[in-house]
Structure 1
Amino acid sequence: MKPHAFAVCAYKDSPYLEACIRSLLKQSVRSDIILCTSTPSPFIEKIADKYQIPLLVRQGKSNIREDWNFAYDMAEARFVTIAHQDDLYQKDYVKKLLECYKKYPDMTLFTGGYTVIRGDRPAVFEKVEFIKRLLRLPLRLRSISHLSWVKKSVLLFGNSICCPACAYNKEQLGESLFTSPYRFALDWDTLYQMSGLPGRFICSERPILYYRVHGEATTKACIADNSRFKEEADMFSKMWPEPVVKVLMHFYRKAYKEYE
């Protein structure tokens, strides 16, 4: 089994897709790359042909959970990163992942910090990412990051883990990892479920990803139709009593301005 693969989820005709793929091809340690979509188009086919990347098409209506499971299942490797088409990966992403796995062979999740891009420029300071970095502090205690309460602790006040930065140990986690009914909180709920399973969460806190915030992002759409608020409140309800949930959601509503 190959050590790692990027499964790029392409949705419609993103102007950022090609830049994402280029960042994957520039990895200091080469990795398999596949391009997956449920919205095939000449645009996506052209990019796949240009870079000689296998293009896999999922039949059926586009759906984030099914699209992610398809990409995850199609990747034939021990670790799978579901690469988001809007984002860019630092050249040592795979190198750091494999170094961590060599040291911690029970690692089920690899992730890390990120730098926010607005438009085409890195943001100077992002308060939300600074807070998330603080929330991820327990994962720096790698000697105990296999304990369920440590893994859950970084999820108690929201999802502090950046989804596109994640590499999942498919060998240990099995097929079709994403079973959550949520759209926005799909990754948060998945990590919450994973926190109760055997295995270690490892975080490389130095930025390993450029995370792009823009007007067409799914996150913004979920804010607009209020599904983000409903799903986040539901997630907090799994971990906190109702009065605490109300307080947490009060502050979370303010964080939505990041996407305005």
Structure 2
Amino acid sequence: MKPHTFAVCAYRDSPYLEACIRSLKGQSVPTDIILCTSTPSPYIMDMADKYGISVHVREGKSRIMDDWNFAYHMADSRFVTIAHQDDMYQKDYVKLLLESWKRYPDMTLFTGGYTVVKRDTLVKFEKVEFIKRFLRLPLRLRPLSHLRAVKRSVLLFGNSICCPACTYNKELLGEPLFDSPYQFALDWDTLWKLAGRGGRFICIERPLMYYRVHEEATTKACIKDNSRAREEAEMFAKMWPKPVVKLLMHYYRRAYEEYE
């Protein structure tokens, strides 16, 4: 079995797709790259041809969970990173992933921090990621990072794990990976379920990718139509009583300002 695949989810004609692909091609440890889409176009096909990447087209209406599961399924490797087309990855991402796996063969999830990119400018200090880094502190206890309580502790006050920074151990987790009624909180709900299963969460607490914030991002759309607030409140309700949920949502909504 191949060690790792970046499965790039391409949606329509993103101007950031090429930068994403270039960052994957520039990894210090070569890896497989595939491009998966439910919205095929000449632009996407041309980009794949330019970089020698195979394209897999999913039939049917575009839907985040279905698109992600399709990308995960098409990756023929032990580890799968579902790369978002707007983001870029640090050159040692795969190297650090494989080094972590050699040390912790029961690793089901690999992740790390990120640097925010707004209007094509790096944000040196991003307060939401600073808070998330604090919330991820329990995962620094590597000998205990296989425990359900430790894994779920980093999800109790919000999703402190950045979805595109995640790599999943397909050999241990099987498929389908995503099974959730949510659109925005899909990753949080999935991580909560994975934390309840066996295996270890490994977090490298340093920026491993560049996370782009822009007007066309799904996160922005979910804020505008209020689905983000509704789904996050439902996630908190799985973990806390109603008075605590209300208090958490009062403060948690302030994070939405980062997308303004």
Which TM-score applies when normalising by structure 1?
0.99
Question: C-alpha distance in 1, partners of 2:188/2:182?
Answer: 9
For residues 122-142 of structure 1, the C-alpha deviation after alignment (integer angstroms, 9 at most, x for no partner) is 012111000000000000000
Q: CA deviation at 1:175?
A: 1.5
Name 1:193's counterpart in structure 2. 193
Query: Alignment partner of 1:108: what SS?
Result: strand
Question: C-alpha distance in 2, partners of 1:149/1:189?
Answer: 16
Question: C-alpha distance in 1, partners of 2:71/2:98?
Answer: 21
For residues 46-76 of structure 1, the C-alpha deviation after alignment (integer angstroms, 9 at most, x for no partner) is 0011111000000000000000000000000
Asked if 1:219 corresponds to 2:238, the answer is no
Q: CA deviation at 1:22?
A: 0.3
Counterpart residue type for residue 106 of structure 2: D
Name 2:184's counterpart in structure 1. 184
Hey, which bits of structure 1, 4+ residues long, moved more than 6 A? none
CA RMSD of aligned residues (A): 0.5
Q: CA deviation at 1:15?
A: 0.2
Q: CA deviation at 1:33?
A: 0.3
Name 1:232's counterpart in structure 2. 232
Name 1:15's counterpart in structure 2. 15
Question: C-alpha distance in 2, partners of 1:48/1:190?
Answer: 29
Matches within 5 A, 1:16-165: 16-165=16-165
Question: C-alpha distance in 1, partners of 2:83/2:182?
Answer: 19
Question: What runs of 5+ residues in structure 2 fail to find an aligned partner?
Answer: none
Question: What runs of 5+ residues in structure 1 fail to find an aligned partner?
Answer: none
Name 1:210's counterpart in structure 2. 210
For residues 195-229 of structure 1, the C-alpha deviation after alignment (integer angstroms, 9 at most, x for no partner) is 01000000001110010011110000000000000
Q: For this pair of structures, how many residues does the alignment match?
A: 260
Counterpart residue type for residue 109 of structure 1: L
For residues 131-186 of structure 1, the C-alpha deviation after alignment (integer angstroms, 9 at most, x for no partner) is 00000000000000000000000000000001000000000000110001100000
Question: C-alpha distance in 2, partners of 1:49/1:186?
Answer: 31
Counterpart residue type for residue 73 of structure 1: H
Identity %: 75
Question: C-alpha distance in 2, partners of 1:89/1:254?
Answer: 27
